[in-house]
Amino acid sequence: MSAQKLILLRGLFDQFGLDGYLVLKANKHQCEYLRPDEERLQWLTNFSGSAGSVIVLKNKAALFVDGRYTLQAHHEVDKSLFDIIDTTYTSPLNWLMNHVSSGEKTGVDPWLITGHTFKAYQKLLKEKEASLLPVDQNLIDCLWQNKPTQPVHKAVIHPLEVSGLSHDEKIESLTERIKEKDADGTLITMVESVNWLFNIRGHDLDYMPVVFSFAFVHKDGRATLFMDLEKVTDEIRHHLGEKVTIQSYQAILSFLGGLGHHKPIILVDPVLSPLKLITTLEETGSRVLCADDLTLLPKACKNPVEIRGMRETHLRDGAALTMFLHWVIKEAINQKVTEIEAVQKLYEFRARFPTFWGDSFPTISAVSAHGAIVHYRVTPSTDCLLEADGLYLVDSGAHYHDGSTDVTRTIVLGKPTPEQKDRFTRVLKGHIALAQLIFPQGTTGGQIDAFARSFLWQAGLDYAHGTGHGVGSVMNIHEGPQRISKSASTISLQPGMVVSNEPGYYKAEHYGIRLENLAVVVSVDIPGAEHPMLGFETLTLAPVDVRLIDHTLMTSSEIKWLNEYHQYVHDALAPLIEGVNAKKWFYDVTQPLCL
């Protein structure tokens, strides 16, 4: 199937004056998750991961993925058609530089590539007298017949009792920062930022409760929101008030084009904004001032109401996950349950709570070798039984009306091997080291990532993903700008930021291990301290499978941390656990280990 699609795609090159085409896993808002009709890369290659790109030349094609997806790509993609390239070692741009010739043009959809990425390609390609050419007509769309249609869902209000700040307060703060930059306004293209700013949510994506929208905010506080008018209710209009003008989603181009008469200075984040909107501003007279999206940090630093919501959300979610783990260990194995059935059961446990919105990402339900695929997504063709042998990794999360969760637990379905216990314990030790860490204000995630890896490193081991990502509140579960990873970052960890703590270990074709809790960055009061200090408050509540621990590797302080965590988990969740057998099991698995 992919072979025929490649032939058809290459058949369009002459018509558009191209020698190649860049296909991005992206939409106009650079969302992590896409609507079915935006899954162009998957349509072409069959790769279903959440990040990647493809370059198709006349005689060669390559799929580019990072270390999280290399195994998955090898399973899903026809390697006779596409070279699979790990971007840890070779970027798409460097690969293109090695395969493009002088004068050749590679096309790209200007709505799907950001201004920053486009500029990087053009700068290097110019050295070979080649170029990246914006093509308004997406070539995949020219070929994709019977694309899925999308139902229209109404936007909803994210109320003050869970948002903590009104949209008027947020816009007022934003305008102060616009003035500090000596700008006349700012364009906001990231859908999470728009939804956060205006306290709205929607159903446009399966795993992100957002409504597709752009926004423009003037320095005087006036704002224009661009969204599908069919999604706008009278309640939304009343909520937004007179200072917010609503225009159709498609009106963004004409609106931006009309700004240029007065030569305004417009703040735009080139890392997030599509090339199409940036060039529209520049070509119609506006002066584009490149700057980070001014909503990113305020959105990342949760206010007290949002933090309270996250704590309450984790109580419900912890109870649901704990009852699910009891079901897996005590019932599922004997009932010959499959990975897909386990996903459905976990959803049922969460859906018992009235505030449940939906999953925050596709649940990773992975038995044995499937666990080694970092972002494994079970399908009918890969589905297998949860049998009493090996490890079971479940990475899942949910959105509730007042917060979001992301949690991973690895449990043993039979008797663990000494190697599995060794690896699990090293992962646990790294998790505890990070959870206990106290660090000075101004510290970035890159400066503390090694604490989570050090015990694996001591055995010559590592994992090919970041240790932690930022977390949104009823928003994208993977939120920037903060992160904990080997990659350098200029963004320091700040009070109110929520991050994941998720070291892991993966033995290809055998098993995977990951342990993930969410934590909020908090101030730490140390008598006599000469610098403001920060630490983590763990939010996630769920037992750790102590059967996988090699006690000889654990220190007394690590055991003490785990015992205190399990006591905290028990005290918090016990009133919410349903069923005599589940209550008894929960009591047993949270008992303290001997020091």
> pLDDT digits over 169-180, tens only?
999 999 999 999
Closest CA to 119 of 296, 293, 288, 255: 288
pLDDT at 36: 94
Lowest-confidence segment of 77-81, 499-503, 539-543, 590-594 by average pLDDT: 77-81
Q: pLDDT digits over 314-334, tens only?
A: 999 999 999 999 999 998 888
Q: pLDDT digits over 386-418, tens only?
A: 987 899 999 999 999 999 999 999 999 999 999
464: tokens are 């090919």
Whether 1 shows a pLDDT value over 80: the answer reads: no
Choose the CATH number for 301-587 among 3.90.230.10, 3.40.50.300, 3.40.50.11610, 3.20.10.10: 3.90.230.10
pLDDT at 53: 96
- β-bridge partners, 365: 394
pLDDT at 387: 84
125: tokens are 């390609």
Return the CATH number of the domain spanning residue range 156-294. 3.40.350.10
Whether 579 shows a pLDDT value over 90: the answer reads: yes
Alpha-carbon distance of 182 to 289, in angstroms, equals 10
Average pLDDT of the chain is 96
pLDDT at 332: 87
Most confident of 87-96, 237-246, 370-379: 237-246
- The reply to whether 301-587 shares the fold of 156-294 is no
Q: 420 falls in which pLDDT band (50, 70, 90)?
A: very high
pLDDT at 429: 98
Lowest-confidence segment of 26-35, 76-85, 265-274, 302-311 by average pLDDT: 76-85
Taking residues 477-491, report their average pLDDT.
93
pLDDT at 285: 96
pLDDT at 333: 81
Alpha-carbon distance of 53 to 589, in angstroms, equals 44
pLDDT at 67: 78
pLDDT at 245: 98
Q: Residue 291's CB: how many other CB atoms inside 10 A?
A: 16
Taking residues 482-494, report their average pLDDT.
94
Question: How does DSSP assign 240-291, residue by residue?
Answer: H-TTEEEE-GGGHHHHHHHGGGG--EEEE-TTTSBHHHHHHHHHTTPEEEE-
Q: pLDDT digits over 101-134, tens only?
A: 999 999 999 999 999 999 999 999 999 999 999 9
Q: Residue 261's CB: how many other CB atoms inside 10 A?
A: 10
pLDDT at 150: 86
Taking residues 238-257, report their average pLDDT.
97
Ordered by start, the domain boundaries in the chain are: 1-134, 156-294, 301-587
pLDDT at 477: 96
Q: Which amino acid is at 320?
A: A
Most confident of 19-23, 76-80, 384-388: 19-23
Whether 2 shows a pLDDT value over 90: the answer reads: no
Cα atoms in the 13 Å half-sphere on the side-chain side of 494 = 14
At residue 85, the 3 state secondary structure works out as strand
Q: 531 falls in which pLDDT band (50, 70, 90)?
A: very high
11: tokens are 């058949």
Report the share of the chain in percent with pLDDT over 70: 100
Span 1-134 CATH architecture: 3-Layer(aba) Sandwich (3.40)
Pairing of strands 403-404, 398-400: antiparallel
Taking residues 473-486, report their average pLDDT.
96
Q: 488 falls in which pLDDT band (50, 70, 90)?
A: confident
Cβ contact 358:401 at 8 Å: no
Q: 71 falls in which pLDDT band (50, 70, 90)?
A: confident
> ∠ CA(301), CA(304), CA(305), 5° rounding?
110
Query: Burial letters for 88-101: b for 16+ Cβ neighbours within 10 Å, e otherwise?
Result: eeeebbebbeeebe
Whether 582 shows a pLDDT value over 90: the answer reads: yes
342: tokens are 């386990």
Taking residues 296-325, report their average pLDDT.
98
Whether 225 shows a pLDDT value over 90: the answer reads: yes
- β-bridge partners, 246: 225
Q: Residue 411's CB: how many other CB atoms inside 10 A?
A: 19
Rounded to two decimals, what is the model's pTM?
0.95
pLDDT at 25: 96
Whether 595 shows a pLDDT value over 80: the answer reads: no
Q: 371 falls in which pLDDT band (50, 70, 90)?
A: very high
pLDDT at 268: 98
